[in-house]
Amino acid sequence: MAAIDIEKVVKTYGAFTALRGVSLTIDDGAFVALVGPSGCGKTTLLRSICGLEDIISGEIRIDGKEVTDQPPKDRDIAMVFQSYALYPHMSVSDNMSFSMRLAHAAKELITEKVGYASGILGLGDYLERLPRQLSGGQRQRVAMGRAIVRNPKAFLFDEPLSNLDAKLRVQMRKEIKQLHQRLGVTSVFVTHDQIEAMTLADRVVVMNAGNIEQAGSPLDLYDHPANTFVAGFIGSPAMNMLEGNVVRGDGAPRFVLPDGGTLPLPVGADLADGAGVIFGVRPEHVHAAATDDGARATVNVVEPTGFETFLYSTLGDTEVCIRSTDRLAFRPDDEIGFVPDPEHVHLFDPETGRRLN
Amino acid sequence: MRSNDRWTLVLLAPVFLLLTAIIFLPEIWAGWISFTNYRLGDPSRFIGFANFEYFLTDPRFWNALRVNVIFVIAVVTIQMVVGLAIALFLAQMKSPLRFLWIAMVLAPMAVSPAVSSVIWRYLFDANIGPLNYFLEQMGFERMQWLTGVTTAMISVIIVEVWLAIPHVVLFVYPARITFPQDLYEAAEVDGATAWQKFRYITFPLLRPAFLLALVFRVIITIRAFGVVWLLTKGGPGRSTELLAIYMFKEGFENWRFGSAAAIAWAMLIITILISSYMIYRMYQNAFVKQRKDA
């Protein structure tokens, strides 16, 4: 177990810059998820920690020891690949013990470690099988077993669940979390699925275009997104974001949409009169009112899912979503009032995208 | 019989007819001749195993067998090792020039063996050949490439290896490029050195393709004739006289078709024994093991 320190890491591929001076500290025993859209640099960062990519500049330390220029084998880390990368000609037990056999470990020790890992993962009955005779979930477990056997300082996961079907993905997600709770090994998990990141990790790092946009606990990111990118990326359906201006009249300042509709601003938002602002509110923090209070929207689609109902509507020229546990009785083309809960409004600077409140 | 099967037979029939006409019938004819004192034009007479007795007691046969064994072992070993090395080198090349390299490596296949033999005979020529010219330029002595007892053997081995390397590359290279890169990354994380990656990952995975190439090369090399015939005619003396050359000389220089046919049959039996043993081993290795797993 070990902490991982990443300092100003830069990586380029020809003219393309994959990492633009990324810095991140991963605490000992933490479970960190790197999440972001394709090409954001999350996998490159993971592979740089692993040593599979040579970085241009910056420094990587594992357990306080600098490893920037060291090959993967000297970093004492284990990686679970997206494709699992199991050796197709080796049995499950040989796959798991390959690193130990290369290191000329004693036979008894190998048997013991493989027994331990396969016990945890429920692979005891499959040790003599070849990878192709296993199901997707079992292969996934073998890949993790290969990591566990090594007793490494950190586990690195590169989108390990993306090749599984939806049901199995949820199950393996739970197993990975239990595994981390049981072993307590520092883990870094790359995924493009924000739900996976939120459910697994104690710390989520949102990346975009080679930069870290925000790092924090899942709920911190959800409740206090630092900018419009994180606000839009975390949460599904995405946060509603409306562009408009602040109007300070006689009473409390209000947010005015280009078409004249107004919305209440949160208490304490200190904004100049006429200032442009992006008004963000999550679908569950908006009520659909029958009255024409505030801003008006036109219903496009109603999606009842049982527990919740999603109401997709058009407000001005923006598509907005309202999420309610009430069974809303609206129909397409109905006019509704878009009533946000002022306590849960996020304000962003339209120029920089940064959070204002 | 389903109508599909019948159609299969109908469509395959021309191939079987052709094989019968140019392989099976001549072999059977040769088999008959091997038991007669057949000479061109003369009526032949059945003489039992006399032809076999004749060549089995002929020291030239034992010399040819010895030369053949050395030739096959040397040629096949060198071409398998070099072919494997070249295939692996090509597979790890990332530059777009790789395709130029592949074309260069495969070039010997595009040239007729007879033409390449003539070119090599010129290269090897003791007086005007470029090889000796360069040796001399570098301060070495001229070599009697095709006229020395040992050097002639080395020379024919070189040419045979050169000709057949593309064949090995064609088996190994396509197999190698199908292996996913992340297997090697996983091995790197597991702590494997370059040699260990080859030893424990690349080679075991290449084995089916490699063994198939080996079987082909052994079968083809056992009955080698053309290149060696064109380069040395089996000489100097009998130092490069392979079984096929010995057989050819028996038939077309000494006009003993009976014993030539008997030698041909002996070669056929040797080839069938060796290749069926190798195919059996390969089958055991690659397929039976898999089936047991499944």
Query: Which domains, ranges and CATH numbers included, belong to chain B?
Result: 58-293 (1.10.3720.10)
Determine the average pLDDT of the residues in B190-198. 91
Q: What is the pLDDT of residue B51?
A: 80
Cβ contact A214:A226 at 8 Å: yes
Q: Searching chain B, which residue's CA lies closest to the CA of residue A143?
A: B186
Report the alpha-carbon distance of residue A286 to residue A337 in Å, rounded: 10
pLDDT over 90 at A190, yes or no: yes
Q: Which amino acid is at A220?
A: D
What average pLDDT does the segment A66-71 reach? 90
Give the separation between CA B154 and CA B71, rounded to whole angstroms: 9
Asked if the Cβ–Cβ distance from A146 to B180 is below 8 Å, we say no
Residue B51 vs residue A118, higher pLDDT: A118
Does residue A71 sit at the B interface (CB-CB below 8 Å)?
Answer: yes
According to the model, what pLDDT value does residue B293 have? 47
On the question of pLDDT at A269 being above 80, the answer is: no
Does the distance separating the beta carbons of A88 and B205 come in below 8 Å? yes
Chain B residue nearest residue A103, CA to CA: B191
pLDDT in tens, B82-125: 999 999 999 888 888 888 888 888 888 888 888 888 888 888 87
CA distance B145 to chain A (A): 46
Q: Does residue B232 have a pLDDT over 90?
A: no
Q: What is the pLDDT of residue B161?
A: 92
Task: Kindly list the residues from chain A whose CB atom is less than 8 angstroms away from the CB atom of residue B205.
Answer: 88-89
The amino acid that residue B116 corresponds to is S
Q: Whole-angstrom Cα distance, residue A279 to residue A12? A: 36
> What percent of chain B has pLDDT above 90?
24
Token pair of A284 as six digits:
């569950």
Question: What confidence category does residue B54 fall into, taking pLDDT thresholds of 50, 70 and 90?
Answer: confident
Residues of chain B contacting residue A87, judged by C-beta atoms under 8 Å apart: 183, 186-187, 200-201
Distance from B176 to chain A by nearest Cα, in Å?
14
- Taking the CA atoms of A327, A329, A331 and A336 in sequence, report the sign of the dihedral they define: negative
Q: Which amino acid is at B195?
A: W
pLDDT of residue B289: 55
Tokens standing for residue B226: 């053309």
The pLDDT value recorded for residue B294 is 42
pLDDT band at B290 (very low <50, low <70, confident <90, very high): low
Which residues on A lie below 8 Å from B192 (Cβ)?
Answer: 73, 98, 102
Q: Enumerate the residues of chain A whose CB falls inside 8 A of the CB of residue B185.
A: 52, 72, 79, 81, 85
In this structure, which amino acid lies at residue A289?
A: A
Q: Is B180 on the interface with A (CB under 8 A)?
A: yes
Residue B274 to residues B52, B74, B279, Cα–Cα distance (Å): 20, 16, 9
Indicate the length of chain A as a whole number: 357
What is the pLDDT at residue B287?
58
- Nearest residue in chain B measured CA to CA from A78: B189
Does a cis peptide bond (omega within 30 degrees of 0) precede residue B26?
no
Can you give the pLDDT at residue A266?
Answer: 83
- Residues of A in Cβ contact (< 8 Å) with B210: none
> Is the Cβ of B189 closer than 8 Å to some Cβ of chain A?
yes
| CB–CB contact A98 B190 (8 Å) | yes
Contact A146 B190 (CB under 8 A): yes
% of chain A exceeding 90 in pLDDT:
47
Q: Is the pTM of this model over 0.95?
A: no
Give the residue on B whose Cα is nearest the Cα of A128. Answer: B293
What pLDDT sits at residue A293?
A: 67
Chain segment B144-171, per-residue pLDDT in tens: 777 777 888 888 999 999 988 999 999 9
SS (H, E, C) chain A: CCCEEEEEEEEEECCEEEEEEEEEEECCCCEEEEECCCCCCHHHHHHHHHCCCCCCEEEEEECCEECCCCCHHHCCEEEECCCCCCCCCCCHHHHHHHHHHHCCCCHHHHHHHHHHHHHHHCCHHHCCCCHHHCCHHHHHHHHHHHHHHCCCCEEEEECCCCCCCHHHHHHHHHHHHHHHHHHCCEEEEEECCHHHHHHHCCEEEEEECCEEEEEECHHHHHHCCCEHHHHHHCCCCCCEEEEEEEECCCCCCEEECCCCCEEECCCCCCCCCCCEEEEEECHHHEEEECCCCCEEEEEEEEEECCCCEEEEEEECCEEEEEEECCCCCCCCCCEEEEEECHHHEEEECCCCCEECC
Chain B: residue whose CA lies nearest to A53: B185
**Are B188 and A89 an interchain contact pair (Cβ–Cβ within 8 Å)?**
no
Query: What is the average per-residue pLDDT within A241-258?
Result: 85
Residue A129 in contact with partner chain B when CB distance is under 8 A: yes
Q: Does B183 touch chain A (CB under 8 A)?
A: yes
B194 at A interface, C-beta within 8 A:
no
For B180, name the nearest residue in chain A, comparing CA atoms only.
Answer: A85
Chain B CA closest to residue A99: B190
**Domains identified in chain A and CATH numbers:** 4-230 (3.40.50.300), 240-348 (2.40.50.140)
Q: How high is the pLDDT of residue B195?
A: 92
Q: Does B204 touch chain A if contact means CB atoms closer than 8 Å?
A: yes
Chains A, B: CB contacts within 8 A come to: 61
Residues of A in contact with B188 (CB under 8 A): 52, 71-73
Contacting residues of A for B183, CB less than 8 Å apart: 85, 87-88
Between A49-53, A132-136, B179-183, B280-284, the lowest mean confidence (pLDDT) is in B280-284
Residue A255 in this model has a pLDDT that exceeds 50:
yes
What is the rounded CA–CA span in Å between residue B44 and residue B37? 6
Arithmetic mean of pLDDT over chain B = 85
Give A118-175 pLDDT, tens digit per residue: 888 888 889 999 999 998 888 988 998 998 888 889 999 999 888 888 888 888 899 8
| A7 contacts: CB under 8 Å, gap ≥ 6 | A23, A58, A59, A60, A61
Q: Which of B181, B190, B202, B292 should one mutate to test binding to chain A, selecting the residue with the greatest count of A CBs within 10 A?
A: B190
CB-CB under 8 Å, A79 with B185: yes
Quote the mean pLDDT of chain A.
89
- Mutation target vs A (from B189, B200, B205, B285; most A CBs, 10 A cutoff): B189
